[in-house]
Structure 1
Amino acid sequence: MTIWQQIAVCFYQNEIADGMDLFMANAAKLGTNKSAAPLINPIFDAIERADYTYAADLLYHEIQGE
Structure 2
Amino acid sequence: MITVRSDVNIVVDRDKCYFCGVCVERCIMDNLRMYLAPCRAACPLHTNCHGYVRLLAQGKEAEAATEL
Please give the range of the TM-score, normalised by the shorter of the 2 chains: 0.3 to 0.5
TM-score by length of 2: 0.32
Bigger-Rg structure (1/2):
2
Q: Which has the higher contact order (CA 8 A, sep 6+)?
A: 1
Q: Report which of the two has the higher share of helix.
A: 1
Q: Report which of the two has the higher share of strand.
A: 2
TM-score by length of 1: 0.33
